[in-house]
Chain A
Amino acid sequence: QKEVEQDPGPLSVPEGAIVSLNCTYSNSAFQYFMWYRQYSRKGPELLMYTYSSGNKEDGRFTAQVDKSSKYISLFIRDSQPSDSATYLCAMRENYGGSQGNLIFGKGTKLSVKP
């Protein structure tokens, strides 16, 4: 079993739809959870960063962490064609700095149709 599981999609939605992206994980020591967006042939760009359980909202994006279920989600409201990209979940056990290597999911490819 991989440490982090993420459905690779592809996921296709109409413009304006609410998008739900999810990851499950097996390592209960993970405490820091991130969502990155990666456009084709570009490096990952950090969207959301959450510590432990709970919700975090930033504009159209909401990140949720449920440590009891080992499940994290990213919701995108009012999706736009510019949101079309691959979304990667990432997590780690320890606070950043020299302890901070990230474990990534495979990524979910999202396409938002006009």
Chain B
Amino acid sequence: DAGVTQSPTHLIKTRGQQVTLRCSPKSGHDTVSWYQQALGQGPQFIFQYYEEEERQRGNFPDRFSGHQFPNYSSELNVNALLLGDSALYLCASSLALPSPSTDTQYFGPGTRLTVL
């Protein structure tokens, strides 16, 4: 049973550039959430995608955008990169209509983004 996968593992960009991160959800899951985890901090919710639409959004600027594909995989795009965007970006997958035993978000290993 394949878990959540993310690519790439590491990425180095310079200020002002744009970046795209990718996520494949756990088999059977239809909802993807993205989180940003700065060093020494807990993950912060960016947004969530279900049925190819953004369903919820955290307190992040419009420079952060995403997409979900028909196969439930997802991309996170960040434009006009700032030094403060350096972080571990985590993807979590879940079910839109879970039962109590399946009401869980499974996290991928993350993509570590460094902005120079």
Using known A-B contacts A96-B94, A100-B94, determine if residue A46 contacts B106 with beta carbons closer than 8 Å: yes
A7 CB-CB contact with B under 8 Å: no
Q: How far is the CA of A45 from the CA of B4 in the complex (A)?
A: 11
Please classify how large the interface on chain A is, using the bins under 10, 10 to 19, 20 to 34, 35 or more: 20 to 34
Q: A96's contact among B41, B95, B110, by CB below 8 Å, is which?
A: B95
68-82 of chain A: CB within 8 A of chain B: none
9-residue interface stretch from B12-20, B61-69, B71-79, B96-104: B96-104
A45 to B43 CA separation, bound complex (whole angstroms): 13
28 A-B residue pairs with Cβ-Cβ distance under 8 Å, sorted by A, are A42-B110, A43-B4, A43-B109, A44-B43, A45-B107, A49-B104, A88-B42, A88-B43, A95-B98, A96-B95, A96-B105, A97-B94, A97-B95, A97-B97, A98-B55, A98-B56, A100-B33, A100-B94, A100-B103, A101-B45, A101-B58, A102-B45, A102-B92, A103-B45, A104-B44, A105-B42, A106-B40, A107-B40
Assess whether A43 is in contact with B42, with CB atoms less than 8 Å apart.
no
**Chain A residues whose C-beta falls within 8 Å of the C-beta of B33 in the assembled complex:** 100-102
A contacts, CB < 8 Å to B: 4, 6, 8, 32, 36, 41-46, 49, 51, 88, 90, 95-107
Q: How far is the CB of B92 from chain A (nearest CB, A)?
A: 8
The winner among B35, B42, B55, B98 for most chain A CB atoms within 10 A is B42
Nearest Cβ distance between residue A66 and chain B, in whole angstroms? 21
Cβ–Cβ contact A46 & B104, under 8 A? yes
Chain B residues contacting A104 (CB-CB under 8 Å) are 42-44
Digitize B11-51: 1 where CB-to-A-CB distance is under 8 Å, 0 elsewhere.
00000000000000000000101010000111111001010
> Contact at B105–A46, with CB atoms within 8 Å?
yes
Q: Are A8 and B40 in contact (CB under 8 A)?
A: yes
> Which residues of the partner chain A approach B95 to less than 8 Å between Cβ atoms?
96-97
Cβ of A101: which chain B residues have Cβ within 8 Å of it?
Answer: 33, 45, 48, 56, 58
Q: In the complex, which residues of chain B have a beta carbon less than 8 angstroms from the beta carbon of A36? A: 107
